[in-house]
């Protein structure tokens, strides 16, 4: 079966712009989580969605937001981009959340 | 706070030797502990996980042990091979179980 699909794979944006990243979970998985991975901070939790509801949120500013659609696909948005937002953004899906998380290949965002 | 400490940060072993990576978590309510392997430029892949009602779990050359009282868990890799070289991350479920808090990662190098 298909894995977790993230698009686009690479993005270059200018400071101040906004960006939307997409994640399609494994078929049947209803929980989608987002993580930011940087060399300095490692893997940091952004938020988790289940059945279109945000169940948990990490310690990121309000510029980071997300949503989940009825088909479980999720999007993440970052507004007013800063240089420090450059990172690999990973999404992970799970049947119900709580365990069994499978990661996608990520979107590499570069802010210039 | 919610954190997971992971040691060592780098580990070099000879092919055929064993490797042990240790993690300590802060939240006594954590009940799920996965380990991920991430090769350069690739997504994190789940290699083994354990729930808090189990003390040990083994899968071929890989095993994980959990000490709930001390709040620490360890990954053991026996008969290491060059293809085991990667970054290994431990994680613990926190925040009502719907998010994973990751350790900082261990770079494992297996020398042939």
Enclosing H/E stretch for A57: strand A53-57
B70 min Cα distance to partner chain A (Å):
22
The pLDDT of residue A20: 98
A36 touches chain B (CB under 8 A): no
Set of chain B residues whose Cβ sits within 8 Å of the Cβ of A97: 97-98
> What is the Cα Rg of chain A in Å?
13
Q: Are the beta carbons of A103 and B45 separated by less than 8 Å?
A: yes
The pLDDT of residue B98: 81
- Residues contacting residue A62 through CB under 8 Å, at least 6 positions apart: none
The pLDDT of residue B1: 80
Per-residue pLDDT of chain B (112 residues; tens, 9 = 90+): 889 999 999 999 999 999 999 999 999 999 999 999 999 999 999 999 999 988 999 999 999 999 999 999 999 999 999 999 999 999 999 977 789 999 999 999 999 9
Per-residue tokens: A21: 């990243």
**Segments of chain A scoring below 50 in pLDDT:** none
B41 min Cα distance to partner chain A (Å):
9
Set of chain B residues whose Cβ sits within 8 Å of the Cβ of A5: none
Residues 40-79 of A with CB under 8 A from B: 42-45, 48, 50, 55-56, 58
Q: Are the beta carbons of A42 and B44 separated by less than 8 Å?
A: no
């Amino acid at each position: 079966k298909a894995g977790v699909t993230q698009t686009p794979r690479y993005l270059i944006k200018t400071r101040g712009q906004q960006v939307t990243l997409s994640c399609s979970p494994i078929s049947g998985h209803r929980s989608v989580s987002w993580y930011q991975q940087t060399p300095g901070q490692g893997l940091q939790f952004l938020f988790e969605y289940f059945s279109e509801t945000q169940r948990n949120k990490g310690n990121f500013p309000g510029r980071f937001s997300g949503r989940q659609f009825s088909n479980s696909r999720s999007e993440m948005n970052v507004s007013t981009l800063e240089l420090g937002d450059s990172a690999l953004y990973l999404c992970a899906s799970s049947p119900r959340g709580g365990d069994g998380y499978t990661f996608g290949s990520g979107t590499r965002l570069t802010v210039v | 706070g919610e954190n997971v400490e992971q040691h060592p940060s780098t580990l070099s072993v000879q092919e055929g030797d064993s490797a042990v990576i240790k993690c300590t978590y802060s939240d006594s309510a954590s009940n799920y502990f996965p380990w991920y392997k991430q090769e350069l430029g690739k997504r994190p892949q789940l290699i083994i996980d354990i729930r808090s009602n189990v003390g040990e779990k083994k899968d071929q050359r890989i095993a994980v042990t959990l000490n709930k009282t001390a709040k620490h868990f360890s990954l053991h890799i026996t008969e290491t091979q060059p293809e085991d070289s990667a970054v290994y991350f431990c994680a613990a479920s926190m925040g009502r179980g719907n998010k994973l808090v990751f350790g900082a990662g261990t770079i494992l190098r297996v020398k042939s």
